Chains A and B, each alone.
Chain A
Amino acid sequence: AQTVTQSQPEMSVQEAETVTLSCTYDTSESDYYLFWYKQPPSRQMILVIRQEAYKQQNATENRFSVNFQKAAKSFSLKISDSQLGDAAMYFCVVSSGGSNYKLTFGKGTLLTVNP
């Protein structure tokens, strides 16, 4: 079984500042993937960033980057130069590898961006 823990139910950040969202996980799989998805008020799930567990290099996607610590099973998301459009619920997600593809979601962190 997989578990994902997001210890910050809510976070806020000033526009143009940097914020880090925390996530820890547990899995017995050796092959797995990690994602951060955002869900804005429209409730459409949008992929923010993806990390393959076998890759040591941290993934980056423009203003979004992760700090992946495999031994500690930690996968935090850093948002730089925060924008008003970044306001959303952010979910940390773990996917088992192989043919299962099941996703396990954290409870989410609601990010508010203050102008």
Chain B
Amino acid sequence: GAVVSQHPSRVICKSGTSVKIECRSLDFQATTMFWYRQFPKKSLMLMATSNEGSKATYEQGVEKDKFLINHASLTLSTLTVTSAHPEDSSFYICSAPPTDLYGYTFGSGTRLTVV
């Protein structure tokens, strides 16, 4: 089945710095990638949708300038948390739409801790 590789799995950064999270589709082309945020013991909240060759679509309430999303190629989408603050600490997951009969493919997630 389709595989989405997400890196890094864990990252700790200082407040005020920026962090980039990458999601790569390994054996298929993903023209769209969904980015979610998940708080502990909570559900996934869609932050934005990236589209190859066009601007990302952000959900209501998500700061575009803080969460920069880029879909550089058909196999790479990135989320950059800019000027990170402790409240940005969370679990971030990417997901690609289905390419087969099975379902959406999710990355393994990134645990971001801002200190």
Contact = CB atoms under 8 A, between A and B. Distances in A.
A27 B97 CA distance: 19
B95 A103 contact: yes
A91 B34 CA distance: 17
B104 A103 contact: yes
The 4 closest A-B pairs by CB, nearest first: A45-B106, A47-B103, A101-B97, A105-B43
Nearest to A46: B106
Nearest to B32: A101
Interface of A: 35, 37, 42-45, 47, 50, 89, 91, 95, 101-103, 105-108, 110
A37 B36 CA distance: 15
B91 interface: yes
**Size class of the contact patch on chain B:** 20 to 34
B23 interface: no
A35 B43 CA distance: 14
A108 B95 contact: no
Contacts of B41: 89, 110
Contacts of A102: 34, 46, 49
A50 B109 contact: no
Which of B34, B44, B46, B93 has most chain A Cβ within 10 Å? B44
Contacts of B44: 91, 103, 105
B108 interface: yes
Contacts of B46: 102-103
